[in-house]
Amino acid sequence: MKTGATDLPVLKPFRAEPIAPSGLAAPTLLSAGLVASAAVIFAASLAVAQATGSTARDGAVTILLRWAPLIFQGFLFNLLISFLSMALGTAVGVLFGVGQVSPSAALRKPAWVATQFFRNAPWLVLLFYAMFLLPFELRLGPVTIAFPAWIKAIIGLALPVAANVSEIVRGGIRSIPSGQWESAEALAFTRRQTMWMIILPQAFKRMIPPWMNLYAILTMATTLISVVGIQDGLTVTRAALVAESRPELMLPMYLLLLLMFFAYCYPIARLTMALERRFNVKG
Amino acid sequence: MIAAFFERLNDVHGLNFSIFYDAFDRSRFLTGLWTTTYICVVSILASLAIGLLGVWIAGSNSRFGRLVVRIYVQFFRNTPPLVQLSFFYFAVGGLLPTVSDGFGGQSPLVSGTGWAIIAFSLFAGAFNVEIFRAGIEAVPETMVEAAESLGYTRFQLWRQIVLPLAFRICLPALNNNLVNLVKTTTLAYAIGVPELLYAASQIWSEMFNVREMMNVLLVTYVLLVAVLVWVMHRWEKAMRIPGYMP
């Protein structure tokens, strides 16, 4: 008798064919379709602009190429602002979020009120709030801390981010089954130990997708700083349009900026969805 | 009484809440409040309609229709609303012809308020499509199969079985999105629509009461959102089916 073989009717291991459309085909198809259609719309608007512009002056493509680097620089400034306000907002938000689940009411209530207030106020109003009400410099005895407009903008954008991060942290901590707390207590962990060694490591994983989602929203919100007069991508685009005064260029120029944001935010959104699916806990 | 109190507050403490005693400022502020409310209500209704239409097409047999809806959703979700608004108002609006306003002048075909409503409806509608889709996917398969076996057409199935159930499931998410829509309406400031933020900025640049108006503005928006949330919660409660809640 050979080893490893048997006459009994056993189910041999087999490689199952994917049932529905395979996991990768649909997203790939969608992404390809998205990119293709965006390119088509963009090219069409550019062609229309090229055709309708007067022949005596520069063509639409030439002008667009001339301004594209500058618009891209503006867009990079948007990204810089988004990194910094995300960092500041996350740092403050985690404190608020942990405060919201604190057993002491003196900590919990103010954290809750601040979170709800800043979460429900419009981003633009909070930005105005920071821009107008923060001093342009802060004197602490001999030290003077300058607050140029862009730092104020970062603080203004960090306020709603902090409130949203606070809710994400609270939700993440709350999503851990209470059995974890109870078993930790049974093993004589203190509250602080339970939080740091048991709850937060588990909750952290679940907080990543909403946190990334928030980051994408923040990146899109950074264009708001153009309203308060900071030179970001949108401001540069507008300035370019004013400088050229060619109405037929408006469509491709704004589309270019939209596509820059899309190219940055769409991968984040896809990754968020993938992570959400992976961390999805059944039951 | 109230006017006298705020006038005294201004005289004694220098806290200038002009909208409470100055009739002109008050009317400007109320006009702004009205415009914001108007934009909110119309955009909410339009975005719900877009969401329903989008999810109907997304669930249909047409491959092309499905692709179009997915592209629409992904594009509007992943680009900044402010740039979308600028795109609609300056680029698309600039290309449309103007019409005579009857007084010898020319006015644009769609006003700033109109473009704001269009842009916000499309923006929120993209999110609504996804929200409704999630709700519809959560409706138990067996319900749909049972209805199909009873000979329901697709439209009847949706109107009488899928949507009423899906709607209850997606109300919390819908709630969030509509709150977000109310907050997004402030962006209309950028294209000069006389909404709440615009009115407030006009007042503070004339009366030099930035600090006071800022706080009034924040509180007003938080109240607006609170009213919306309250209404939605009441609705959620009223529509609850005992025993059926995922």
What residues 58-97 of chain B have any CB closer than 8 A to a CB of chain A? 67, 70-71, 74-75, 77-84, 86-87, 90-92, 94-95
Residues of chain A where predicted confidence (pLDDT) is lower than 70: 1-31, 52-58, 280-283
Count Cβ atoms within 10 A of the Cβ of residue A147 and give its class: 0-12 exposed, 13-18 middle, 19 or more buried: middle
Do β-strands B98-100 and B106-108 pair in parallel, antiparallel, or remain unpaired? antiparallel
Contact (CB<8Å) A34/B70:
yes
Instruction: For residue A30, give the nearest of B70, B90, B187 by CB distance.
Output: B70
User: Per the structure block, which two tokens stand in for A283?
Assistant: 């039951």
Length of chain B: 246
pTM, whole model, 2 decimals? 0.83
Q: Are A127 and A157 in contact (CB under 8 A)?
A: yes
Task: Judge whether B214 is closer than 8 Å to chain A, CB to CB.
Answer: yes
pLDDT in tens, chain B (246 residues): 778 888 787 778 777 787 888 888 889 999 999 999 999 999 999 999 999 999 999 888 888 888 899 889 999 999 999 999 999 998 888 778 777 777 777 777 788 899 999 999 999 999 999 999 988 888 888 888 999 899 998 888 888 988 888 888 888 889 989 999 999 999 999 888 988 999 998 888 888 888 888 889 989 998 999 999 899 889 888 888 877 665
State the pLDDT at residue B5: 80
* Nearest residue in chain A measured CA to CA from B81: A220
pLDDT digits (tens, 9 = 90+) for B26-53: 899 999 999 999 999 999 999 999 999 9
* Chain B interface includes A133 (CB < 8 A): yes
| A222/B90 Cβ within 8 A | no
Q: Identify the residue among B40, B63, B79 best suited for mutation to test binding to A, counting A beta carbons within 10 A and taking the highest.
A: B79
Residue from the list B86, B179, B217 with its beta carbon closest to the beta carbon of A254: B86
For residue A283, what pLDDT is reported? 38
Confirm if A127 and A153 have CB atoms less than 8 A apart: yes
Of all residues in chain A, the one with the smallest CA distance to B204 is A132
DSSP B241: B
Q: Which residue of B has its CA nearest to A52?
A: B95
Q: Which one of A212, A223, A255, A280 would you mutate to disrupt binding with B, by most B Cβ within 10 Å of its Cβ? A: A223
d(CA B43, CA B40): 5
- B-chain residues near A79 (CB < 8 A): none
3-state DSSP: chain B helix, strand, coil percent, rounded to 5? Answer: 80, 5, 15
Rounded CA gap, B131 and B149, in Å? Answer: 27
3-state secondary structure of B195: coil
What DSSP string describes chain A? --TT--SS-------PPPSSS-TTHHHHHHHHHHHHHHHHHHHHHHHHHHHHS-TTS--HHHHHHHHHHHHHHHHHHHHHHHHHHHHHHHHHHHHHHHHHT-S-HHHHHHHHHHHHHHHHS-HHHHHHHHHHHS-SEEEETTEEEE--HHHHHHHHHHHHHHHHHHHHHHHHHHTS-HHHHHHHHHTT--HHHIIIIIIHHHHHHHHHHHHHHHHHHHHHHGGGGGTTT---HHHHHHHHHHHHT-GGGHHHHHHHHHHHHHHHHHHHHHHHHHHHHHHPPP-
The pLDDT of residue A11 is 63
Q: Which residues of B touch A221 (CB under 8 A)?
A: 80
The residues with which B100 forms a beta bridge, in sequence order, are: B106
Longest dimension (CA), chain B: 76
Q: Which helix (H) or strand (E) holds B23?
A: helix B23-58
Whether A118 contacts A160, CB under 8 Å: yes
pLDDT computed for residue A231 by the predictor: 86
pLDDT in tens, A28-48: 666 677 777 777 777 777 777
Q: How far is B87 from chain A (nearest CA, A)?
A: 6
The C-alpha atoms of residue A123 and residue A222 are separated, in whole angstroms, by 10
Q: Count CB-CB contacts under 10 A for residue B246.
A: 9
Number of Cβ atoms within 10 Å of the Cβ of A14? 6
DSSP state of B99: E
User: Which of B135, B167, B173 lies closest to B241, judged by CA?
Assistant: B167
Of B115, B141, B97, nearest to B193 (Cα)?
B115
* pLDDT at residue A87, rounded to an integer: 95
